A and B are shown apart, each in its own frame.
Chain A
Amino acid sequence: MTHPLIRIYPARWRARYGDEFAVVLEERPLGPFDVADVLLGALDAHLHLRGHGAASEHQKGFAMSLRIGGYAAIAGGILWLLVLAGNAINNGGDSFSPFLGYAVVGATIATLVALIGLSAFQARSYPVLTWAAFAIPAFGAVVGLFGYALVVITGDSDALLVGGVSPWMISSIGLMTMVLGSSLFALATWQSRSLSRGASALLALGAVLVVFALFGISGSLFPGPFVVIPVLAAIIAFPAGWMALGISALRVTGPAPMRLEGAPS
């Protein structure tokens, strides 16, 4: 580190970049443009180092939110698979097992966390689109959890609240809003290109299929024994969409693959 121009940089900067910067300066004779550029670079380094810590923490925050969102999306996907498959085996019957209830609550919380984590990452580029697409499913998840808490408090008594609405109805409307809102979130993710577009498409399709299946619409579209096809597709596509989106998020937080053979590692 012998080049005199390097000495005008801050010590902290020199400790990190000094050696390699000296090599760059030694590679070719410096013209007036280069000298002026280095002087401005040194001034910038002195000014910039003051805000260094804040910028670094900001970036770490993005990566952390993406990781949390990714893990939550995978967990939510697994739990939704259990819920949808369990509900199908139960044939939508009245006897809702406690296990399925816990799975619904867990899946809803995980989906809410995934929505927050992934949206915080995507909002850095598309804030309006991302937060608009986040609002509906997140609102649905909160209402769904609130309704489920009322079910537990009222002892699953089908008690009618104000306006003749039962806790089950509140919970169902909330969860349905969340599922449908997931398709909006998936479309926003598709548009922003921040995460896998394939996973986004799968989630959007899965959300629509779940609504079709739960409302029995697929029954009128697929007669007789073929009705099982869209139901099966819904059970697979919606959870798989969330899981694929979660895996895609975790891949973004990891290192990029090396592309050049023989490149230094």
Chain B
Amino acid sequence: MQPRIPELGRFAEPALLILVSLSDGPKHGYAVMADVEAGTGRPLGPGTLYAALARLEERGLIEALPPVDRRRPYRLTAIGETVLAEQLVELSEFAQLGLRRLGRSPG
């Protein structure tokens, strides 16, 4: 199922991973990369990371905080939090549908 973060095209999936990474508090770019890799087992390249970060910032889903030692942390905005919650609920419902069709109860 394609995540429905609006108008992000091929950056929709990295954007979703970044939003989830920021959902427990602000992180700078490298911390987001490390967190995503630890959580998914897949690397998130620096070029993809910053392309997605720029788009999320433009759309007001995240915001930059003042830099600390050249590292600039980002955090979710309230709109970003709402959009992320919508995405996760949709993905969860879709996953439950798939599990039911496979005859495997989700819980």
Contacts and interface: CB of A to CB of B under 8 A. Distances in A.
Contact of A59 (B46, B60, B67): B60
B97 interface: no
A60 to B, nearest CB: 8
B71 A20 contact: yes
A193 B67 contact: no
Size class of B's contact patch?
A: 35 or more
B6 interface: yes
A38 B46 contact: yes
Nearest to B89: A193
A24 interface: yes
A34 B37 CA distance: 14
Interface stretch (A89-97, A230-238, A254-262): A254-262
Contact of A21 (B6, B46, B82, B85): B46
Interface in A34-90: 34, 36-42, 44-45, 48, 52, 55-56, 58-60, 62-63
Contact of A254 (B59, B78, B83): B78
A224 interface: no
A29 interface: no
A194 B58 contact: no
Interface residues of A, number: 48
The majority secondary structure among interface residues of chain A is helix
B54 interface: yes
B104 interface: no
A264 B58 contact: no
B51 A39 contact: no
Given A20-B28, A48-B54, A255-B77, A33 B86 contact: no
A25 B82 contact: no
B24 to A, nearest CB: 6
Interface string B13-30: 000000000001110111
A27 B63 CA distance: 23
A254 B79 CA distance: 8
B70 interface: yes
B86 A265 contact: no
Interface string A174-197: 000000000000000000111000
A17 interface: yes
A253 B46 contact: no
Quick one: which of B29, B47, B76, B79 has the most chain A CB within 10 A?
A: B47
11 contacts: A20-B71, A21-B50, A23-B29, A33-B45, A37-B47, A37-B48, A38-B45, A55-B59, A59-B60, A253-B78, A263-B73
Given A34-B46, A58-B7, A264-B66, 20 more contacts: A19-B67, A19-B70, A23-B70, A24-B29, A24-B33, A24-B49, A37-B45, A38-B46, A41-B47, A48-B51, A52-B58, A55-B59, A59-B60, A62-B79, A63-B60, A125-B4, A192-B86, A253-B78, A256-B75, A260-B25
Interface of B: 4, 6-7, 24-26, 28-30, 33, 43, 45-51, 53-55, 58-60, 63, 65-68, 70-73, 75-83, 85-86, 89
Q: Which 8 A-B pairs have the closest CB atoms?
A: A41-B47, A37-B45, A260-B25, A37-B47, A38-B47, A20-B72, A59-B59, A256-B78
